[in-house]
Structure 1
């Protein structure tokens, strides 16, 4: 039986791809980054890396690979960072993530 395509809600603008569902602390950091991008938590969804290839129709603007294998999603802005837990304690990685976000805004 072949895997079903993953369908995302129309209001989902950012996909977080990481190996495990974010913990409470990681979710807080995630929400802060989203706010800086003028997105709400309701506009974001988590997917494990193996599900990315199963994406069906979507309205995504961003795909954030946090410590996971990257994939190419056509027409989507890509962010790459260490895992959220590593990012939480790494100022340089936070700065690099911020620079990636800003690069798309200019």
Structure 2
């Protein structure tokens, strides 16, 4: 088994090389998103079942389906290639600018699930883009 297979089995799909000059063949590849992806959720870990339920409710309020959204870890945002995104939601992580995309920020989905004020603030961000 090679190192890339081990990393994949451990759930590590994006990584940084400390000394990239030593590995010219392992240059970071751009992250490709499917054309149907309209919203990118950027957070530290894939949503749990409860968090996914909350996420689907927020998407529905935005007239988006779960199929139109994808998760990406924060360290991979800088590798984002060509995309058709309308929205990027940074949940519990620092925002990175993406040109031409509506940006949302909130606490992590776990915190958001139990914080009515944070939900209200997220809703206000979403509504500001509609006006």
Question: Which stretches in structure 1 are left out of the alignment for 5+ residues?
Answer: none
Inter-partner Cα distance in structure 1 for 2:84 and 2:115: 31
Q: Which residue in 2 is equivalent to 1:14?
A: 39
Matches within 5 A, 1:17-56: 17-56=42-81
Inter-partner Cα distance in structure 1 for 2:121 and 2:49: 23
Deviation of 1:2 after TM superposition, in Å, equals 1.0
Question: RMSD in angstroms over aligned alpha carbons?
Answer: 0.4
Inter-partner Cα distance in structure 2 for 1:81 and 1:7: 25
The structure number with the bigger radius of gyration is: 2
Matched residue SS, 1:52: helix
Deviation of 1:69 after TM superposition, in Å, equals 1.6
Q: Which residue in 1 is equivalent to 2:96?
A: 71
Alignment TM-score, normalising by the size of structure 1: 0.99
Matched residue SS, 2:124: helix
Question: Which stretches in structure 2 are left out of the alignment for 5+ residues?
Answer: 1-25
Divergent runs of 4+, >6 A: none
Matches within 5 A, 1:62-101: 62-101=87-126
